């Protein structure tokens, strides 16, 4: 039996539809540039959904833990008008 040496790399793929398609996209793209790509194994997904004020303490704590914001959305709330302002 011959000895073998393998290089282990980390791939990140994206898909708006599913995690399976994201992994398939990553392997397909890597296959275009890597020679002898033989084995691919999904190790899992790291995803968190949270609500935090933009640039707030909660967002900074999540970033310190290794997460990054995929997108942020700001909701504007208009104050109620008093009868005198109408």
8-state DSSP, 41: -
- Within 13 Å, how many C-alpha atoms sit on residue 84's CB side? 0
* Alpha-carbon gap, residue 45 to 16, rounded angstroms: 14
Give just the sign of the alpha carbon dihedral 73, 22, 9, 36: negative
Query: Is the whole model's pTM more than 0.85, yes or no?
Result: no
pLDDT tens figures, 19-73: 778 888 888 888 888 877 777 777 766 666 677 777 788 888 878 877 777 776 6
For residue 12 the two structure tokens come to 């990140």
Could you give phi then psi for residue 80, rounded to 5 degrees?
Answer: -70, 140
């Amino acid at each position: 039996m011959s000895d073998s040496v393998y290089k282990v790399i980390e791939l990140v793929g994206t898909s708006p539809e599913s995690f399976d398609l994201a992994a398939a996209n990553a392997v397909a793209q890597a296959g275009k540039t890597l020679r002898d790509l033989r084995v691919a194994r999904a190790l899992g997904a790291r995803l968190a959904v949270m609500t935090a004020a933009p640039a707030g303490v909660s967002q900074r704590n999540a970033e310190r833990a290794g997460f990054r914001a995929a997108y942020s959305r700001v909701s504007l709330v208009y104050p109620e008008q008093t009868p005198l302002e109408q």
